[in-house]
């Protein structure tokens, strides 16, 4: 299978969908002549032209609204947000229009629009540029929320999202763009709402998405050196959530640790923990544990930033606690 970077996988997905459907277009800040702030749209302007790869002003509320309107009249826009931190400027459009118009119109309108861009912390981008916003969007009925962790998942899920007839929040890991991975040859898609077991294990289930799926795998490697077999579950989609996969894994292992980069209060991990506790109550040998980002705005200082984001060492310590080894 060919090996590509996370950003190249996303680029391939958009190019293939634009090639196959003339109603698909890309719009956002610097997506055209600059080839994207993270070079995800490299070469698309030259290939598809200015009518389908559209540079916008720095006005998220404006161009997100244009994308919603375009979807209402039959186009299939991909709206790139330079970072999901900036989506807060367009929250009214996403929550009060994109998520609600289909229901409020009695199904007369569909909203086939994908809002995509990088999310989570990167490296010393400080408080206003290091937020994990997925908990905001998963709270909203009418939105689907997708967070791939690998190039294979990024391409397959983005293609499915572009073809879907609902508004989708597609959050890309800001530090994952350079990651390399194998992808299947030829045409493929990955269904929305289907998670994946990234590593099979028997002693504990570790759940993580986006960058935290990568941390979960690093944690599992550390634990294996200590004779502990960890199963790593990547939901890939947070809304809808593959509850069946998570439950089956936890029922097998009897223990669950959730890794989440976002803040702890009302986080996505809290929702998953509630479902696991409710559906696996008789199978759990220890209460569900969570390792989250610290409950404060992200510091700029590198050492403090590192302390605020879950890592494999701290996750392994928590797993040992769950196994009553510490």
Span 149-164, pLDDT tens digits: 999 999 999 999 999 9
| Catalytic (active-site) positions | 60, 129
Span 45-61, pLDDT tens digits: 999 999 999 999 999 99
Among 306, 238, 310, smallest CA distance to 275 is for 238
Residues 6 or more apart whose Cβ sits within 8 Å of residue 203: 223, 228, 229, 230, 253, 255, 323
Domain ranges of the chain: 3-182, 196-322
Residue 214 banded pLDDT, cuts 50, 70, 90 = very high
Query: Would the pLDDT of 73 be above 90?
Result: yes
Residue 23 CA from chain centroid, whole number? 25
Q: What is the mean pLDDT of residues 268-275?
A: 98
- Beta pairing, strands 230-234 & 237-239: unpaired
Contact 293, 262 (CB under 8 A): yes
Q: What is the pTM of this model?
A: 0.96
Contact 277, 226 (CB under 8 A): no
**What pLDDT is recorded for position 3?**
97
Distance CA 318, CA 305 (A): 20
Among 80, 84, 83, 115, smallest CA distance to 97 is for 115
Query: Would the pLDDT of 62 be above 80?
Result: yes
Half-sphere exposure in the Cβ direction for 227 (13 Å, CA): 2
**What pLDDT is recorded for position 326?**
77
- Beta pairing, strands 144-146 & 76-80: unpaired
Q: What is the mean pLDDT of residues 280-302?
A: 96
**What pLDDT is recorded for position 6?**
98
**What pLDDT is recorded for position 60?**
97
Span 121-145, pLDDT tens digits: 998 899 999 999 999 999 999 999 9
What is the CATH class of 196-322?
A: alpha beta
Percent above pLDDT 70 for the chain: 100
- Backbone phi and psi for residue 288, each to the nearest 5 degrees, phi listed first: -60, 135
Q: What is the mean pLDDT of residues 180-209?
A: 97
Percent above pLDDT 90 for the chain: 98
Dump the DSSP string for 289-326: EEE---SSPPPSSHHHHHHHS--HHHHHHHHHHHTT--
Query: Would the pLDDT of 39 be above 80?
Result: yes
Handedness of CA 275, 170, 194, 294 (dihedral sign): negative
Span 201-210, pLDDT tens digits: 999 999 999 9
Q: Which CATH superfamily is domain 3-182 in?
A: Thiamin diphosphate (ThDP)-binding fold, Pyr/PP domains (3.40.50.970)
Dump the DSSP string for 151-197: HHHHHHHHHHHHH-SS-EEEEEETTTTT-EEE--SSS----TT--EE
């Amino acid at each position: 299978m060919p090996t590509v970077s996370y950003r190249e996988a996303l680029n391939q997905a958009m190019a293939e969908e634009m090639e196959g459907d003339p109603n698909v277009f890309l719009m956002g800040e610097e997506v055209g002549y600059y080839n994207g702030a993270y070079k995800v749209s490299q070469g698309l302007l030259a290939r598809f032209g200015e009518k389908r790869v559209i540079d916008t002003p720095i006005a998220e509320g404006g161009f997100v609204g244009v994308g919603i309107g375009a979807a209402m009249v039959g186009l299939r826009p991909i709206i790139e947000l330079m970072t999901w931190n900036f989506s807060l400027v367009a929250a009214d459009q996403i929550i009060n229009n994109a998520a609600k118009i289909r229901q409020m119109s009695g199904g007369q309108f569909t909203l086939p629009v994908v809002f995509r861009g990088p999310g989570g912390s990167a490296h010393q981008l400080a408080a206003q540029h290091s937020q994990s916003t997925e908990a905001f969007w998963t709270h909203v009925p009418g939105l689907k929320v997708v967070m791939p962790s690998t190039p294979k998942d990024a391409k397959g899920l983005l293609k499915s999202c572009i073809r879907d007839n609902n508004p989708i929040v597609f959050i890309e890991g800001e530090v994952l763009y350079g990651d390399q991975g194998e992808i299947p040859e030829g045409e493929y898609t990955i269904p929305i709402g289907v998670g994946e077991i990234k590593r099979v294990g028997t002693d504990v289930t570790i759940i993580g998405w986006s960058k935290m799926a990568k941390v979960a795998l690093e944690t599992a490697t550390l634990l294996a050196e200590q004779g502990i077999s960890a199963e790593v579950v990547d939901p890939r989609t947070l809304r809808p959530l593959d509850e069946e996969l998570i439950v089956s894994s936890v029922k097998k292992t009897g223990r669950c640790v959730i890794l989440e980069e976002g803040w702890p209060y009302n986080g996505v991990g809290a929702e998953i923990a509630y479902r696991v506790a409710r559906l696996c109550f008789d199978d759990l040998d220890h209460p569900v544990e969570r390792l989250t980002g610290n409950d404060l705005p992200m510091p700029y200082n590198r050492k403090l930033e590192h302390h605020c984001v879950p890592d494999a060492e701290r996750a392994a310590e928590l797993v040992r606690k769950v196994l009553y080894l510490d």
